[in-house]
Structure 1
Amino acid sequence: MKRSSGARIGATAAVSVLSLALITGCSDEGSDSSKGSDSASSSPTAPAAKALTTAELKKLLIAQGDVKGYKVEAVDESYPTSKSEVKVDKTECRPLAYTMAGLAPGDTDANASITAGEDKSPDASKALEDMTEDALADAFDVSMTLVGLSSYDGDGAEKTFKSVSDAVASCAGGFTISAQGEDQKLNKIASEKASGAGDESVAFAASGEMEEAGTGDVHMEVVRHGNTIATYYTFNLGKLTSGGAYTVPSVVVDAQAAKLK
């Protein structure tokens, strides 16, 4: 991602020009953390889980006002709208690539997504091109999270979660994503500490090169709530260019988890 191209559209609109193929990152510290609990589907007398519809998932997504200090908006055209738009050179790494795109990491048509960004605007009295480097960096120090929900029949959610968890390990050496006319080599996938939300959760980060900015950092978490999977893909343009630390915001995860209870 070229810094100048981001500056032209402003910090509050950064998500609209950040495509899956241009934003990559990682942290080489942290550990994978997950928790599990007995699910109703494990009982021989319990009925098989039935997937929610896309319309039902949309109603369960976080909305404006659910996360204090964040602006929740519809996903814009900068993100892929179908899995056919996302190509991966390693089949086992597809669940991770789909998570980064806000798409269902598993095999289902029931999928919905939303964006949640820190509600922080640059100084309206100054044009971005007139800002100092420090002021510009501060204006772009905004965490944006793509939240996705997908739902599955039977044990589909458990299998999907396992495919993500397995991919974090099997894709540790990285993989290449092709999306929206761009190829991006991810050099490394690293486990991170998960929130522990839901029935199972796993967190990870991806590392890759950015144009004129060295290596960038982005972070993901996947949480299973019964037969529904919640995915979180977070990037911070300011931290990407400065190398500062950040992660998936716990307030976003907690707010979404509350709506899935």
Structure 2
Amino acid sequence: MNRSSGARLCTTVAVGALSLALITGCAESGSDDAKGSDPASAAPAAKALSAAELKKLIIAQGDVEGYDVKAPDAQFPASKSEVQVDKAECEPLAYAMSGLAPGESAGDARNMATEQKSPTDTASQSMQDMTEGEFEDAFSDALSVNMTAVGLSSYDGDAAATTFKSVSDAIAACAGGFTVTAKGAEQKVLKVATEKGSGTGDESVAFSASMEMEGQAAPGTVHAEVARHGGTLATYYTINMGALMTGEKYEIPAAVVDAQAAKLK
């Protein structure tokens, strides 16, 4: 791969991932971590938190060691009106993957946690001095950073449990994929599969989504999780651009999930 093709690939991959609204993941149908077969009926009535209250509860800079935390940039959809899904039953997944509330919430807040990257041995080298292999390694390594969109949304009564169930149901219903258009860019999700959730909160469910990547033969995989803490849902959506290019495995950072769960106790 030459230098110019590398830059083009970086741009192509970024745009492909951005259309799922993340910037700039088949086991059983349902999660082993979801507690109870009917969360809507089991959950106690709750009073929704406001956006201002959620803003105080969402992770912020200094809450997660080794991560920079700040508000998502303008490449994220600002609202659900900027996200269209070809299958209505898949909307909760598309919203969670955009850092948006998966249901009709009374309040919401979101931030982005980006892994801090340590310089590599090749970082100080001039591109002209690198061999082709060194350039490819440095290029993918520079992009191998976990970026996690974290969202909080709060609901009245048992709506949080009902919304959580809609996410769990959607993982099974949308196993064959769906198409989402975010901020005018179309992205095809080829497959959705259940993953092991963190077990945080009252119940949690996680999934992976394999999606088409422009300029690449193999699909890329992203990871998401939704956890219910009483009447509040926490959503996590992690993408690693370098791993999408190389096919290496990655997951939602436990440190980010644990830090957010701790603030919701």
The TM tier, using the shorter chain, reads 0.7 to 0.9
Task: Write out per-residue CA displacement over residues 15-70 of structure 1, whole angstroms, 9 at most, x where no aligned residue.
Answer: 899524377xx3x568832232799x959xx7x41100001101101111111111
User: More displaced, 29-38 or 134-143?
Assistant: 29-38
CA distance in 2, matches of 1:111, 1:22: 17
Shift of 1:3: 5.5
Contact 1:16 1:78 in 2 (8 A): no
User: More displaced, 29-38 or 240-249?
Assistant: 29-38
Partner of 1:119: 116
Q: TM-score, normalised by structure 1?
A: 0.86
Q: What secondary structure does 1:4 align onto?
A: helix
RMSD after superposition: 2.9
Shift of 1:181: 1.4
From 182, 195, 198, the counterpart of 2:198: 195
CA distance in 2, matches of 1:92, 1:224: 20
Q: What secondary structure does 1:210 align onto?
A: coil
For the structure 1 residues 132 and 3, does the alpha-carbon distance in structure 2 shift closer, same or farther, using more than 3 Å as the test? closer
CA distance in 2, matches of 1:118, 1:6: 22
User: More displaced, 88-97 or 129-138?
Assistant: 129-138
CA distance in 2, matches of 1:218, 1:127: 32
Partner of 1:185: 188
Partner of 1:11: none
Partner of 1:169: 172
Partner of 1:231: 235
Contact 2:156 2:231 in 1 (8 A): yes
| Unaligned ranges ≥5, structure 2 | none
Partner of 2:261: 257
Task: Kindly provide the amino acid, as one letter, of the partner of residue 231 in structure 1.
Answer: T
User: More displaced, 75-84 or 30-39?
Assistant: 30-39
How many residues in Structure 1 have an aligned counterpart in Structure 2? Answer: 249
Task: Write out per-residue CA displacement over residues 127-171 of structure 1, whole angstroms, 9 at most, x where no aligned residue.
Answer: 779761011111111000000000000001000000000000011
Shift of 1:121: 5.2
Shift of 1:5: 4.7
- Percentage identity across aligned positions? 56
Task: Write out per-residue CA displacement over residues 94-115 of structure 1, whole angstroms, 9 at most, x where no aligned residue.
Answer: 0000000000001124111000
For the structure 1 residues 128 and 176, does the alpha-carbon distance in structure 2 shift closer, same or farther, using more than 3 Å as the test? farther
Task: Kindly provide the amino acid, as one letter, of the partner of residue 234 in structure 1.
Answer: T
Shift of 1:177: 0.1
Q: What secondary structure does 1:234 align onto?
A: strand
Partner of 1:91: 88
CA distance in 2, matches of 1:218, 1:82: 21
For the structure 1 residues 100 and 20, does the alpha-carbon distance in structure 2 shift closer, same or farther, using more than 3 Å as the test? farther
